[in-house]
Chains A and B, each alone.
Chain A
Amino acid sequence: MGLLPDFILDYIDVSTFWTILMIVHGLLAVALLGALTHQAMSVLAPVRQVAGSSGIVTRFRAVQGAGYAAAVCVLWVVTFFFGAWIYTKYRMYVRIPIEQQGFWKTQGVFELKEHLAVIGLGLLPIYWLLWKDVRNPDYASARKWLTVVLAGMVWFMFLVGHIVNNVRGFGS
């Protein structure tokens, strides 16, 4: 059944419990995706000065990236925690049917998603440092490209999560 505290079953059924966890994981992922995308845009196409009536794209990339760093770290950790929790359920009730149906590539990209999530977790200390000392010119390039790499990871993980959910997620 996976890592499910028994007392929770006094209040909700098993399916509801895992569905709530999955929704929370998904919502946290959306927040992480938004934060890192804003930040990546702010370093790839920085706005020097927002004047008058700027368009939505300009406003999207006109954020103060440094203000997102701590939130991104917390969101990554919490999203990872929920993902790792759901993983027990996934391994028993999602992966096995996916394999039985022969969706090998779907399974493969999901494995890659897991790997990237862990690697990103280990990069959070240096990511945080690079954004917290923004006046250090030596950090500018590494900050920019590490942010872009992490944003790319999150986009990949988000889309793969959706694909796997489409293959065998809610209601299956």
Chain B
Amino acid sequence: MSTTTDVRSTAQPSSLATSTAFRTFAVVTGLATTVIYVICEMQNWPLFTYHPGTNRVDWFYSPAVRDQGPAMYWYGWIATTLIGAPILGILAMLLPERITKKIPLSLVWIFPLAAVPVLIYALRFFWRW
């Protein structure tokens, strides 16, 4: 069995796929998504809070209101992340190529793996017997 990757595609890559600027955007967006989301989760920084019991939306963090059901922050964390990460990706495109080329591609899979134990720790409230 061969140990080398065999992708066996004969298709020509699109111009977007060969664009250095898009490569920088994609790498930085991927890395920033992981970092920003983990920070949002641990610090509880939602862009907005949704109250499903009353269908009310408040900007940023808002605690649950007594007798009106829970408050949901996950949507707000997603919003913070999915706005912040692409902005960082776009800003990174403005950097010189000699700098952005130095970002190791392996980080795009190492960061998510490294985030798992951090998130498990952040969820320690739930690991009780």
Contact = CB atoms under 8 A, between A and B. Distances in A.
Interface of A: 1-3, 42-43, 45-48, 64-67, 84, 87-88, 91-92, 95-96, 104-105, 107-109, 111-112, 114-116, 118-123, 125-136, 138-146, 148-149, 153
A2 B70 CA distance: 12
Interface in B73-109: 74-75, 77-78, 81-82, 85, 89, 105-106, 108-109
B78 A126 contact: no
23 contacts: A2-B52, A42-B6, A43-B7, A46-B4, A64-B9, A66-B7, A84-B78, A87-B74, A88-B52, A91-B72, A92-B53, A105-B126, A112-B123, A114-B74, A122-B34, A122-B82, A123-B34, A129-B17, A129-B23, A133-B18, A134-B13, A136-B13, A142-B109
A126 B127 contact: no
Contacts of A118: 33, 37, 77-78, 81
A88 B112 CA distance: 26
State the main secondary structure of chain B at its contact with A: helix
A130 B6 CA distance: 14
Q: Which 8 A-B pairs have the closest CB atoms?
A: A122-B33, A108-B126, A46-B6, A132-B17, A142-B105, A66-B9, A125-B26, A126-B26
B108 A146 contact: yes
Given A66-B11, A115-B41, A126-B30, A138 B105 contact: yes
Given A126-B29, A132-B17, A111 B81 contact: no
A64 B116 CA distance: 30
A126 B27 contact: yes
